Amino acid sequence: MIRDNPESLRWQPVDCTTCPVPDILRANASKYLEIKLTVKSRFLGLGRQKDIEVRCTRHGITLDDPYVGCPQCHEERPGLEVFQEALPQIDHK
């Protein structure tokens, strides 16, 4: 992923330690998910920073919360609103 991004620094093993991509893929299995990961130097070159951009290729929008996914894709899935309506009613004791 980093290798395919010309804007990114070269990959180093340390980049994997705090990479958000595996968690995003576990939370959101949409086939329309496009993830762009860019590794940049921090201020004065001290450390590395990961910038992530996640898009829905079906609707062509950037996702605000990649863990949740595309709101337009969710609206197209009947039955999902039943699940969403039940969430506030669950008692988390």
- Residue owning tokens 């991004």: 5
Tell me which long-range contacts 42-50 makes (C-beta under 8 A, separation of at least 24): 48/9, 48/12, 48/14, 48/15, 50/15, 50/18, 50/19, 50/20
pLDDT-derived band of residue 45, with 50, 70 and 90 as boundaries? confident
Mean pLDDT of the 53-62 span: 96
Which helix (H) or strand (E) element contains residue 81? helix 80-86
Mean local confidence (pLDDT), 62-84: 82
**Residue 47 clears pLDDT 50, i.e. is over it:** yes
pTM surpassing 0.85?
Answer: no
